Structure 1
Amino acid sequence: MWPSVITLALYLLLSWAELLPGTMVMGTALATYLLLGGHVTLWQIYYTLPRDLRGLYRYLKLQYRIRRAKRLNQSVPKISRDIARENAEKVAFYFEDEKWTFKEVDEFSNRVGNYFSAQGISKGDSVALSMENRVEYVCLWLGLTKIGCVPALINFHLRQEPLKHCIRVAKRCKAIVVGAELQDELATVLDEDDLKALPVFVSGKRDAAIKIPGGIDADEGLKNASSQVPPQLEAVGFVDDMVYIYTSGTTGLPKAAVIKHSRGVLAVAAGVSMIGLDSNDIVYSPLPLYHLAAGILGSGMALVSGITVVLRKKFSASGYWPDCIKYNVTAAQYIGEICRYLYNLPPKPEDTQHNVRIMFGNGLRPTLWDDFQKRFAIPTISEFYGSTEGNANIINIDGRKGAVGFVSVLFPSVYPVALLKVDQDTGEILRGPDGLCIRCQPGEAGEFVGKIVRGDPVRDFHGYADETASKKKVVRDVFRKGDAAFLSGDILVMDEEGYLYFKDRTGDTYRWKGENVSTAEVESIVSGAVGNADVVVYGVEVPGAESRAGMAAVKRKDDQDLDLTALYAALESSLAAYARPLFIRWASALERTGTFKLKKVPLQKEGFNPKAVKDPIFFLDGKNRKFIPLTEQLYEDIVGGRVRV
């Protein structure tokens, strides 16, 4: 910017003074511009302007659609109703051998809204929803939103305390809807008065009577409900809360992120527009429906944009490409682990017999990118970065290897996101002498943030059901005094052309198997299982894996043995498989900070190499369901890829 300003001032001054001929004035100005570093800007214009213009065009289309939805006070179920009227007989969802037309989805969701309205559920109430993937899951949450209810989409892997917590933090939770296949897991948490008082509706095929005492057959009730549009739909607007989606955030138990209808419309419209999809595409979305990726973005492509979507009960690497062939898929979702699972399978003819023209998702490692794209003949890979609750979302629109998105270096203010410098040991945001945050230069890693603009559908941050948790995700006095930005909790790095690359996670969260793992939650379980000893949980890099595996360092007490059998039992009963630490370090000592916090960074740097770590280390043998000693040979087998993690 400054070379342009100074050059323009010099040009105007020389032109006004008339001391030199016009050609010499122009030559002097150009020479000054280049000497001040203007050649960098010329280089950036050449390499980035076409990308920026393409991105700007798509962004303006997105802005138009969002502002139109705001002006008309549209909500996701209102848009879905209109889509169903226009595409009544078109297939909205494929699921296994089922075909659901838009008309069938609309009518079933109408029944849901009318039925639960008759049960006393009203606008602003919440209903906890826990079931495995199927089309009825989408219809249930959609139908509940038609009466202004805010369904809480609960991770069906959760057990015991995390499950209880998720039900409780959903504001004004008035009922639970559970899949018949998950009755046993839910029954174990209904032993406390506040949860016991909630009516439980059971949905899905079952071979026997309802197991939960007092459970209500939701499917039978839905048969007799009206399929007409619930009258309450007209009162459900753009700025109303739509669903709660749970995220581990950076600390503690799962947080209920508030997803408003504005956010739902934005997520789908942005995905369709920026990825470059249209109503003729067929999208494959085999991810869990309690996640934003499949639950809102994936299924929402049908509800909000009229695109046919293929759902799957559970991801299968061997079934991925056969499914794409079977349903004539043209666009497919992934997470990084999915790509690795697909690539690790033996080559088959199906690898290239599909019609997938684009894959989109997040987490694909740069080291796998080229080989994956070539082997499976994918013309375009659109990697994106975003969080369930955040406003700092970006996307790779031109297939740059490894990039999760970009920010224009020529017009950075168009989309106000930035990388801020952080203290490498504490993770705290660093500030300059003026008290403002310090922006990273190209090549410097920093925390990714997005400027908060209240009332703006794209730039606002709606936070969590827990206001205290929301405040922790906001940093103030960022670019200027009085402003605010959303803290993503992730470390990214930007190159000279504005492309951004994911580097790591900050805080007390790491990512494994496509899921965020809260170290505070795992530490609590591990500590309780080993006699409340000091425990530090952190993520460690495993060669060949897209993310970090969990490792727990347990402080050894005098004359105490580590009961690995009891530890495994506690982890299995209380934590989802992805949250269980793969490595246990039986540490002789754990360092503390001056404020009595246990240090994680030194332990994380030491990793799990038994040659470098003097303490005994144990490895979770998932096949045999126990911890075993991590020998040097086993370590070599793990890092060499001969033992799968």
Structure 2
Amino acid sequence: MLLEVIIHEVLILALIFIISWFFLTNRRYRYLYIIYKTLPRDLTALVRFGRLKYQLKTWVDSGMTIPKVFRTHVARHPNRVAFHFEDTYWTFQEIEDFSNRVANYFIKEGYQKGDSIALLLENRIEYVGIWLGLAKAGIITALVNTNLVSLPLLHCITVSHCKAAIYGSDYVDAIDGIRDKLQGMKLYEFITKDDVKAKDSDIDLKKELQNQPKSCPIERMDESNAKDKLIYIFTSGTTGMPKAAIIPHCRFMYGSLSLYCMSNLNDSDVFYNPLPLYHSAGGIVGVGQCFLFGLTVLIRRKFSASNFWKDCYKYKCTATNYIGETCRYILAAHNKDEPVPKHKVTKMVGNGLRAEIWEEFQRTFNVKQIFEFYGSTEGNANLINIDNTIGAVGFVPPLAPSSVYPVALIKCDDETKQPLRNKEGFCIRCGLGEPGLLVGKIDAKKSINQFAGYVDQKETNRKILQNVFSHGDSFFNTGDVLMKDELGYFYFVDRTGDTYRWKGENVSTTEVERVVSEIVGLKDCVAYGVEVPKHEGKAGMLAIVDADDKLDKEALVEQLKTHLPSYAIPLFLRITRSVPMTGTFKVKKNELRKEGFSEVTGDEVYFLDMKSGKYVPVAQICDKLREGTLKL
């Protein structure tokens, strides 16, 4: 008996020794710490992600589309408010009736399933009603950025092969600027002002819709399924001119569903959507909460920092979306001596919130949860932060196998940002805390891992990496550099390529350079983004070679205003004798970026003064720029 007790105790001690040895050598004890820190988060995410996958699979397998799902909510509560806009609102039944009129009219006009029509219209309820109606007819709507003019606007309409364009009264001048290049394309003007009449040469769409039947075109609607194209959203990506990203019904579902499930929204929430409807944040994440889940959504014509909380209080909003810039504007507009505005918002969903203001913003306005996410309109490498970890854009459980959610960080060249490969030809995974390119595995059989690409197949091919970790695999290259810590949290580091972000918009440097070269006639120019203290993103800077001092800066400003959207006009101008080049005659943009606007020697640097509309010497306001006190 005593011997058995001794043997039993020896075995227990041996087991304790083995377990202790396992975890206390080679830093394995960190596994215990990681499990302790991440298990509650990961279990919560697992439940929500499982709900997401189940619902998405159910919709896709049953052939559901956005219009079909929307009609289930119309049947359930036809008189519930679907959208608020200024002092008006539309019920679910009213959206259904309006979109049916749109569908019936364009079917009568002869448009077929798969045709595309451009939409250039301000934020308003009719905006979503128009593209929902076109979707019922199987027509793809190209959601054109309303800031675009001239060549960029023409490019977006033509690259998406549009057979017609619908534009609001506010954009007559923009359409007139390219009318002669649209080659007889059918144009529909949607009147948005009482004192305006449609141009004689175009069709008055609002008038035409008044006499259309409200019956749903079921036969045409049933021809579509979840994998068919729904809309095009334009993205600058990381290089070149804007690209028409293909958004199938299932992609729209995934974009809306992921935020709905992961942020734990429910159909009693009222969602405030102050973002542009031509972007995925406003047009998919925001609008999708109404179309797919039956929430009431508030649309605002333009974002207003001073009215943000007033709107939320007035309409009893409980959740809202944001981009990083909007949070800074809201914080700056708040007088710290005044009480916190009343509101019922407990959840904010968005991306780009700076870590430096995160805690202050959340504390000041008493917002319980910030759901910061990372994602691109067309990409499959999407992440979300569900536990208020400051600065993180999302996470993947660190101890989970890569097959659970196949995204990875791979090493890239510091200068070119191109993936590095080992002697076997495969990409190299980054270590913890090491910046790298974020990539997502493409699996055409899974809606979550699909990459539908762009209308231009060449642009699609440029975003796909082949043979990344094994022969035959394919990954979507986000073009963004992130880093990951041991708890699985991801942190955004920088964008690669010739694109920078300013005022919530992606700016293609190639687009700016093209306008300056082709329209202004200055061949030797380089556009890039530079950091400005206390401002999100990067401001545009244009370096121009002007060895003979012949540049007319005032004429340059006028041309830029005519041919570029306001956010893409470079704030800084650098007059130089030459630009730094590599041995293979490539511009050293990294060198120019590092010098920014304040570390330049030998060249003249100017700043675009908004009041005068002229480029003035940056030396006059350099201190204000460094201190972040100058309003940009």
- The TM-score with structure 2 as length reference comes to 0.96
Letter in 2 for 1:248: S
Letter in 1 for 2:529: G
The answer (yes or no) to whether the contact 2:380–2:449 under 8 Å persists in 1 is: yes
Q: Secondary structure of the equivalent of 1:27?
A: helix
Shift of 1:346: 3.8
- Write the distance in 2 (CA, Å) between the matches of 1:351 and 1:481: 57
The total of aligned residue pairs comes to: 621
- Which residue of structure 2 aligns with residue 320 of structure 1? 308
The answer (yes or no) to whether the contact 1:321–1:351 under 8 Å persists in 2 is: no
Select which of 174, 180, 183 maps to 1:191. Answer: 180
Q: Secondary structure of the equivalent of 1:178?
A: strand
Does residue 49 of the first structure (1) align with residue 39 of the second (2)? yes
Shift of 1:21: 4.2
- Which residue of structure 2 aligns with residue 134 of structure 1? 124
Q: Deviations over 1:394-442 (max 9, x none)?
A: 1111110111111110114211111111111111111122211111111
- Write the distance in 2 (CA, Å) between the matches of 1:634 and 1:553: 19
- Write the distance in 1 (CA, Å) between the matches of 2:346 and 2:163: 44
Shift of 1:206: 3.3
- Which residue of structure 2 aligns with residue 624 of structure 1? 612
- Which residue of structure 2 aligns with residue 125 of structure 1? 115
- Which residue of structure 2 aligns with residue 176 of structure 1? 165
- Which residue of structure 1 aligns with residue 377 of structure 2? 388
- Write the distance in 2 (CA, Å) between the matches of 1:485 and 1:350: 49
Shift of 1:126: 0.5
The answer (yes or no) to whether the contact 1:268–1:305 under 8 Å persists in 2 is: no
Does residue 255 of the first structure (1) align with residue 243 of the second (2)? yes
Q: Deviations over 1:227-267 (max 9, x none)?
A: 11113111111110000000011222110000000001111
Does residue 62 of the first structure (1) align with residue 52 of the second (2)? yes
- Which residue of structure 2 aligns with residue 233 of structure 1? 221
The answer (yes or no) to whether the contact 2:609–2:615 under 8 Å persists in 1 is: yes
Q: Deviations over 1:334-364 (max 9, x none)?
A: 1111111111114275733111101111111
Does residue 442 of the first structure (1) align with residue 429 of the second (2)? no
The answer (yes or no) to whether the contact 2:544–2:574 under 8 Å persists in 1 is: yes
Letter in 1 for 2:377: T
- Which residue of structure 2 aligns with residue 579 of structure 1? 568
Does residue 164 of the first structure (1) align with residue 154 of the second (2)? yes
- Write the distance in 1 (CA, Å) between the matches of 2:331 and 2:238: 31
The answer (yes or no) to whether the contact 2:120–2:166 under 8 Å persists in 1 is: yes
Shift of 1:481: 1.7
Does residue 331 of the first structure (1) align with residue 319 of the second (2)? yes
- Which residue of structure 2 aligns with residue 102 of structure 1? 92
Select which of 424, 429, 442 maps to 2:419. Answer: 429
The answer (yes or no) to whether the contact 2:198–2:204 under 8 Å persists in 1 is: no
Instruction: Quote the sequence identity (%).
Output: 45
- Which residue of structure 2 aligns with residue 221 of structure 1? 208
- Which residue of structure 1 aligns with residue 3 of structure 2? none
Shift of 1:26: 5.3
Select which of 329, 333, 346 maps to 1:341. Answer: 329
Shift of 1:209: 5.7
Does residue 362 of the first structure (1) align with residue 358 of the second (2)? no
The change in CA–CA distance for 1:530 and 1:199 in structure 2 (over 3 A counts) is closer
Q: Aligned ranges for residues 273-288 of structure 1 at < 5 Å? A: 273-288=261-276
The answer (yes or no) to whether the contact 1:474–1:484 under 8 Å persists in 2 is: yes
Shift of 1:157: 0.9
What's the C-alpha RMSD, in Å, of the aligned pairs?
Answer: 1.6
The change in CA–CA distance for 1:226 and 1:537 in structure 2 (over 3 A counts) is same
Q: Deviations over 1:245-294 (max 9, x none)?
A: 00011222110000000001111111100011100100100111101111
* Structure 2 portions without partners, runs of 5+: 1-7
- Write the distance in 2 (CA, Å) between the matches of 1:175 and 1:301: 29
Q: Secondary structure of the equivalent of 1:89?
A: coil
Shift of 1:545: 0.4
Select which of 286, 295, 298 maps to 1:298. Answer: 286
The answer (yes or no) to whether the contact 1:530–1:563 under 8 Å persists in 2 is: no
Q: Secondary structure of the equivalent of 2:612?
A: coil
- Which residue of structure 2 aligns with residue 116 of structure 1? 106
The answer (yes or no) to whether the contact 2:355–2:391 under 8 Å persists in 1 is: yes
Q: Deviations over 1:114-160 (max 9, x none)?
A: 11110111100001111100000000000000011001000111001
The change in CA–CA distance for 1:62 and 1:492 in structure 2 (over 3 A counts) is same
- Which residue of structure 2 aligns with residue 144 of structure 1? 134
Shift of 1:27: 2.4
- Which residue of structure 1 aligns with residue 255 of structure 2? 267
* Structure 1 portions without partners, runs of 5+: 1-17
The answer (yes or no) to whether the contact 2:191–2:204 under 8 Å persists in 1 is: no
- Write the distance in 2 (CA, Å) between the matches of 1:60 and 1:519: 40
- Which residue of structure 2 aligns with residue 451 of structure 1? 441
- Which residue of structure 2 aligns with residue 203 of structure 1? 190
- Write the distance in 1 (CA, Å) between the matches of 2:260 and 2:268: 12
- Write the distance in 2 (CA, Å) between the matches of 1:138 and 1:350: 36
Q: Secondary structure of the equivalent of 1:317?
A: coil
Letter in 2 for 1:329: C
The answer (yes or no) to whether the contact 1:358–1:382 under 8 Å persists in 2 is: yes
The change in CA–CA distance for 1:27 and 1:142 in structure 2 (over 3 A counts) is same
Q: Secondary structure of the equivalent of 1:120?
A: coil
The answer (yes or no) to whether the contact 2:306–2:334 under 8 Å persists in 1 is: no
Q: Which moved more, 1:30-39 or 1:503-512?
A: 30-39
Shift of 1:380: 0.9
- Write the distance in 1 (CA, Å) between the matches of 2:474 and 2:556: 43
Shift of 1:562: 2.0
Does residue 405 of the first structure (1) align with residue 405 of the second (2)? no
Q: Aligned ranges for residues 410-421 of structure 1 at < 5 Å? A: 410-413=399-402, 414-421=404-411
Letter in 2 for 1:608: F
- Which residue of structure 2 aligns with residue 5 of structure 1? none
- The TM-score with structure 1 as length reference comes to 0.94
Q: Which moved more, 1:334-343 or 1:135-144?
A: 334-343
Select which of 502, 505, 509 maps to 1:515. Answer: 505
Letter in 1 for 2:452: H
The change in CA–CA distance for 1:629 and 1:225 in structure 2 (over 3 A counts) is same
- Write the distance in 1 (CA, Å) between the matches of 2:621 and 2:144: 37
- Write the distance in 1 (CA, Å) between the matches of 2:363 and 2:140: 43
- Which residue of structure 2 aligns with residue 6 of structure 1? none
Select which of 367, 376, 380 maps to 1:378. Answer: 367
The answer (yes or no) to whether the contact 2:191–2:197 under 8 Å persists in 1 is: no
The answer (yes or no) to whether the contact 2:267–2:294 under 8 Å persists in 1 is: yes
